[in-house]
Structure 1
Amino acid sequence: MNHAPRTPAPGPADSPLVLVTAGTDHHPFGRLVEWADAYARERPEVRVLVQHGRSPAPADAEGEPFLPPDRLEELMRSAAAVVTHGGPGSITAARRAGHLPLAAARDPELGEHVDDHQLRFVARLDASGLVRACATAQQLSAALDKAVAHPGEFRIGAPGSGDDGDGAEAAARRAGELIDLLAPPPRPDHPLPALEKAPSTWPTVCAVVPTRDRPDLLRRTLRSIAEQDYPGVLRTVVVFDNDDPDTSLASDDPRRPVEVVPNDHSPGLAGARNTGIMAARGEYVAFCDDDDTWFPGKLRSQVEVLLTDPGTEMVCCGIRVVYDRTEAERMLDRTAVTFSDLLGSRLTELHPSTFLIRREALLEGEGPVSEELPGSYAEDYELLLRMARRAPIRNIPAPGVRVLWHRRSHFAGRWQTIATALRWLLDRYPEFRLVPGGYARVAGQIAFAEAAAGRRRAALRWVGRTFRARPLEPRTPLALAVACGLPAPWVLRTLHRHGKGL
Structure 2
Amino acid sequence: MTEQTTRPTQSPEGSDHADVVVSLGTDHHSFDRLVRWVDDYARRNPDLRVLVQHGHSRAPEKASGTPFLSGEELSEAMRAASVVVTHGGPGTITQARAAGHLPVVVARDPELDEHVDEHQLLFVRRVEDAGRVRACATAQQLHAFIDKARESPEDFRVDPAAEDGPDRAARRAGELIDLLTDDRDGADGVEEGARRDTGSRVTAEVPGDTWPAVTVVVPTRDRPELLRRTLRAIVEQDYPGRITTIVVFDNDQPDPTLTHGEGDRPVRVVTNTLTPGLAGARNTGVLGADTELVAFCDDDDTWMPEKLRAQVEIMREEPDTDMVCCGIQVVYDRVESERILERTSVTFSDLLRSRLTELHPSTFLIRRRAMIDGCGTVSEEIPGSYAEDYELLLRLARRGPIRNIPEPGVRVLWHRKSFFSERWQTISTALRWLLERYPEFALVPRGYARIAGQIAFAEASAKRRGRALRWIGRTLRSRPLEARAYLALLVVCGMPPAWILRLLHLRGKGV
**TM-score, normalised by the number of residues in structure 1:** 0.61
**Which whole-Å deviations, capped at 9, do the CAs of 1:336-364 have from their partners, x for residues lacking one?**
00000000000000000000000111110
Matching residue within 401, 414, 418 for 2:410: 401
Deviation of 1:244 (Å): 1.0
SS at match of 2:313: helix
**Which residue does the alignment assign to 1:436?**
445
**Contact kept in structure 2, 1:436 and 1:470, CA below 8 Å:** yes
Q: Quick one: structure 1 residues 199 and 464, their matched pair in 2 at CA, closer, same or farther if it must change by over 3 Å?
A: farther
Mapped to 1, the partners of 2:327 and 2:505 lie a distance apart of: 17
Deviation of 1:325 (Å): 1.4
Instruction: Provide structure 1 residue ranges, at least 5 long, that are not aligned to the other structure.
Output: 1-196
Does residue 328 of structure 2 align to residue 319 of structure 1?
A: yes
Mapped to 2, the partners of 1:357 and 1:453 lie a distance apart of: 35
| Amino acid across the alignment from 2:239 | Y
Mapped to 1, the partners of 2:439 and 2:301 lie a distance apart of: 33
Does residue 217 of structure 2 align to residue 208 of structure 1?
A: yes
SS at match of 2:357: coil
Mapped to 2, the partners of 1:241 and 1:198 lie a distance apart of: 41
**Which residue does the alignment assign to 1:387?**
396
**Which residue does the alignment assign to 2:270?**
261
Mapped to 1, the partners of 2:224 and 2:211 lie a distance apart of: 31
Does residue 436 of structure 2 align to residue 427 of structure 1?
A: yes
Mapped to 2, the partners of 1:419 and 1:487 lie a distance apart of: 18
Mapped to 2, the partners of 1:273 and 1:342 lie a distance apart of: 22
Deviation of 1:438 (Å): 0.3
**Which whole-Å deviations, capped at 9, do the CAs of 1:8-63 have from their partners, x for residues lacking one?**
xxxxxxxxxxxxxxxxxxxxxxxxxxxxxxxxxxxxxxxxxxxxxxxxxxxxxxxx
| Amino acid across the alignment from 2:406 | P
Does residue 328 of structure 2 align to residue 281 of structure 1?
A: no
| Amino acid across the alignment from 1:390 | R
**Contact kept in structure 2, 1:204 and 1:233, CA below 8 Å:** yes
| Amino acid across the alignment from 1:413 | E
Mapped to 2, the partners of 1:419 and 1:253 lie a distance apart of: 45
Mapped to 1, the partners of 2:386 and 2:214 lie a distance apart of: 26
**Which whole-Å deviations, capped at 9, do the CAs of 1:401-421 have from their partners, x for residues lacking one?**
000000000001100000000
**Which residue does the alignment assign to 1:292?**
301
Does residue 227 of structure 2 align to residue 218 of structure 1?
A: yes
**Contact kept in structure 2, 1:369 and 1:383, CA below 8 Å:** yes
**Contact kept in structure 2, 1:208 and 1:273, CA below 8 Å:** yes
**Which residue does the alignment assign to 1:186?**
none
Mapped to 1, the partners of 2:219 and 2:413 lie a distance apart of: 15
SS at match of 2:246: strand
**Contact kept in structure 2, 1:315 and 1:357, CA below 8 Å:** yes
| Amino acid across the alignment from 1:268 | G
**Which residue does the alignment assign to 1:495?**
504
**Which whole-Å deviations, capped at 9, do the CAs of 1:172-194 have from their partners, x for residues lacking one?**
xxxxxxxxxxxxxxxxxxxxxxx
Deviation of 1:289 (Å): 0.1
**Which residue does the alignment assign to 1:358?**
367
Mapped to 2, the partners of 1:392 and 1:312 lie a distance apart of: 8
Mapped to 1, the partners of 2:463 and 2:387 lie a distance apart of: 21
The percentage of aligned residue pairs carrying the same residue is 71
| Amino acid across the alignment from 1:441 | R
Mapped to 1, the partners of 2:377 and 2:208 lie a distance apart of: 29
5 Å-filtered alignment, 1:410-489, equals 410-489=419-498
SS at match of 1:372: coil
**Which residue does the alignment assign to 1:337?**
346
Deviation of 1:254 (Å): 3.0
**Which residue does the alignment assign to 1:308?**
317
Mapped to 2, the partners of 1:478 and 1:490 lie a distance apart of: 11
**Contact kept in structure 2, 1:316 and 1:356, CA below 8 Å:** yes
Deviation of 1:198 (Å): 8.3
Mapped to 1, the partners of 2:310 and 2:499 lie a distance apart of: 38
**Which whole-Å deviations, capped at 9, do the CAs of 1:240-286 have from their partners, x for residues lacking one?**
00011100000112300000000000000000000000111211000
Deviation of 1:485 (Å): 0.9
Matching residue within 219, 234, 248 for 1:239: 248
**Which residue does the alignment assign to 2:355?**
346
| Amino acid across the alignment from 2:435 | L
Count of equivalent residues: 308
**Which residue does the alignment assign to 2:83?**
none
Mapped to 2, the partners of 1:419 and 1:199 lie a distance apart of: 52
Deviation of 1:287 (Å): 0.1
Q: List 4+ stretches of structure 1 deviating above 3 A.
A: none
**Which residue does the alignment assign to 1:17?**
none
| Amino acid across the alignment from 1:420 | T
Instruction: Provide structure 2 residue ranges, at least 5 long, that are not aligned to the other structure.
Output: 1-205
Mapped to 2, the partners of 1:357 and 1:199 lie a distance apart of: 25
Mapped to 2, the partners of 1:373 and 1:381 lie a distance apart of: 11
Deviation of 1:199 (Å): 6.5
Q: Quick one: structure 1 residues 400 and 198, their matched pair in 2 at CA, closer, same or farther if it must change by over 3 Å?
A: farther
Mapped to 2, the partners of 1:407 and 1:317 lie a distance apart of: 24
| Amino acid across the alignment from 1:451 | A
**Contact kept in structure 2, 1:320 and 1:327, CA below 8 Å:** yes
Q: Quick one: structure 1 residues 198 and 484, their matched pair in 2 at CA, closer, same or farther if it must change by over 3 Å?
A: farther
**Contact kept in structure 2, 1:204 and 1:281, CA below 8 Å:** no
Deviates further, 344-353 or 247-256? 247-256
| Amino acid across the alignment from 2:381 | E
**Which residue does the alignment assign to 2:238?**
229
